[in-house]
Amino acid sequence: MKHLISAGDLSRDEALLILDTAEELARVSERSIKKLPTLRGRTVVNLFFEDSTRTRISFEAAAKRLSADVINFSAKGSSVSKGESLKDTALTLEAMGADAVVIRHGASGAPHRLANWVRGSVLNAGDGTHEHPTQALLDAFSMRQRLGRLEGLKVAIVGDVLHSRVARSNVLLLSTLGAEVTLVAPPTLLPVSVERWPCQVSYDLDAVLPKADVVMMLRVQLERMNAAYFPSAREYSRRYGLDRDRFAKLHDDAIVMHPGPMNRGMEISAEVADSPRSTIVEQVGNGVTVRMAALYLLIGGENQ
C-alpha cells in the first residue's frame, strides 16, 4: 500500500490491518506520554485547500505523536491566492522532501493527480464530493469498538448523500468489511450512480430505523448546494432529521454517528447528538489513532 486515496482500493485484509494497528496505537494514546519514535526523521505535509477542523488537527496530532516533522500548509494565505497551481504547489513540497502528503481539496480527483507528481505517499483527507477514506476507517473503528463487530452490522447512512464523500467512502469500506449498508435520503439528494454502489437505498427513514444497528447522520452541505434540493430546512428535518421521537424507534444497543461538523437542529437534534448512544466525540478521538495507523503503515517501513 503506497497511497490511501480511495476506501475502495483497500482489501479486507488491508482495512483490518489499519483497524488492528489503530487498536494497538490507541493503547499508547491512553498513556500520559503519548509519543512514539516511529516516524522520527520523516516529514508529513498537511496540504489543506478546503476548511477542516477535525481532519486537519487529527492528522497533525497523529504525525506528531509518531515523532514526524510536520509542515502545515493552508491554501488561505499561501501563493495559491496568487494563482499558483496544485502541481506547482506539489513540486514545491516535493523539493522539501515530503515522505507523506495529506491533501484536502475541493476538486474530486485532486489526490489522485497529486500522486503522479510527488514521490511520497498521498493520503486523501477529503476530495470534493468523492471520498474521505480515513473518515470511513475511523467510523468503522468506532463501530467495532462500540458494537464488537462489523460483519453483518446493519448501517443506515442518512441525508445528503449527493454531496457526501463520507457516505461514498463508508459504503465502499463497510461493504468490504461485511456490513450491510442502507442509504436513506430524498431522491434529490442521491447521486444518479447510486444503483451501482454496493448498498440498499430507501427514501423512508422511519421504516429503516427499527432494523439499524448504526445510524450515521450526514451533514446537509448547504455550501455545495446551488439549487433547491428540498422545500425548506423544516421540511427536511421533518422527513429526514433524527430527533427524540425517531431516536426512540432504534433498538436499545443501536448507536448514532455523525462525521461532523453538525447542523444541530437540522439533520440531528442536540438531545440525540449529546446522548450516551452517540459516538460523535469518540469518532474524533479515534480519528487520531486511525490516522496514526495509516501514516505508520504507509511511511513507517524500514525502506522508506
Q: Which residues are annotated as a binding site?
A: 54-55, 82, 104, 132, 135, 165, 219, 260-261
Q: Which of 72, 260, 275, 285 binds ligand CP (CB under 6 A)?
A: 260
Taking the least distance from each CB to ligand CP, the nearer of 21 and 58 is 58
Encoded one letter per residue, x for contact with ligand CP by CB under 6 A and - for no contact, window 51-80 reads: -xxxx-------------------------
Taking CB under 6 A as the criterion, which residues in 261-290 touch ligand CP? Answer: 261
The alpha carbons of the chain give a radius of gyration, in whole angstroms, of: 19
Annotated catalytic residue within 34, 54, 239, 277: 54
Mention every residue, 6+ apart, whose C-beta is less than 8 A from residue 245. none
Q: Which triple of cell numbers denotes residue 135?
A: 473518515
Shortest reach from residue 51's CB to ligand CP, in Å: 7
Helix (H, G, I), strand (E, B) or coil at 59: helix
Using rule CB under 6 A, residue 259 touches ligand CP: yes
Taking the least distance from each CB to ligand CP, the nearer of 173 and 180 is 173
Q: How far apart are CA 66 and CA 292, in angstroms?
A: 7
Using rule CB under 6 A, residue 135 touches ligand CP: yes
Rounded to an integer, what is the distance from CA 187 to the centroid of its chain? 23
Q: Is 104 a catalytic residue?
A: yes
Exposed e or buried b per residue across 227-266, where buried means at least 16 C-beta atoms within 10 angstroms of its C-beta: eebbeeeeebbebbbbeeebbebbeeebbbbbbbebbeeb
Indicate the DSSP class of residue 96. T
Mention every residue, 6+ apart, whose C-beta is less than 8 A from residue 243. 237, 269, 271, 272
Q: How far apart are CA 282 and CA 147, in angstroms?
A: 13
Q: Which residues belong to the annotated binding site for carbamoyl phosphate? A: 54-55, 104, 132, 135, 260-261
Determine the interface stretch with ligand CP among 83-91, 153-161, 257-265, 271-279 (rule: CB under 6 A): 257-265
Shortest reach from residue 219's CB to ligand CP, in Å: 8
Q: What are phi and psi of 236, to 5 degrees?
A: -60, -50
Shortest reach from residue 258's CB to ligand CP, in Å: 9
Exposed e or buried b per residue across 276-293, where buried means at least 16 C-beta atoms within 10 angstroms of its C-beta: eebbbebbbebbbbbbbb
Shortest reach from residue 263's CB to ligand CP, in Å: 13
Using rule CB under 6 A, residue 92 touches ligand CP: no
Q: Which triple of cell numbers denotes residue 234?
A: 423544516
Q: What are phi and psi of 101, to 5 degrees?
A: -120, 120
Shortest reach from residue 234's CB to ligand CP, in Å: 25
Annotated catalytic residue within 55, 176, 182, 279: 55
Taking the least distance from each CB to ligand CP, the nearer of 173 and 300 is 173
Determine the interface stretch with ligand CP among 21-29, 47-55, 61-69, 205-213 (rule: CB under 6 A): 47-55
Taking CB under 6 A as the criterion, which residues in 97-126 touch ligand CP? Answer: 126
Annotated catalytic residue within 56, 132, 163, 168: 132
Q: Which residues are catalytic?
A: 54-55, 82, 104, 132
Site residues for ligand CP per CB under 6 A: 52-55, 126, 135, 259-261
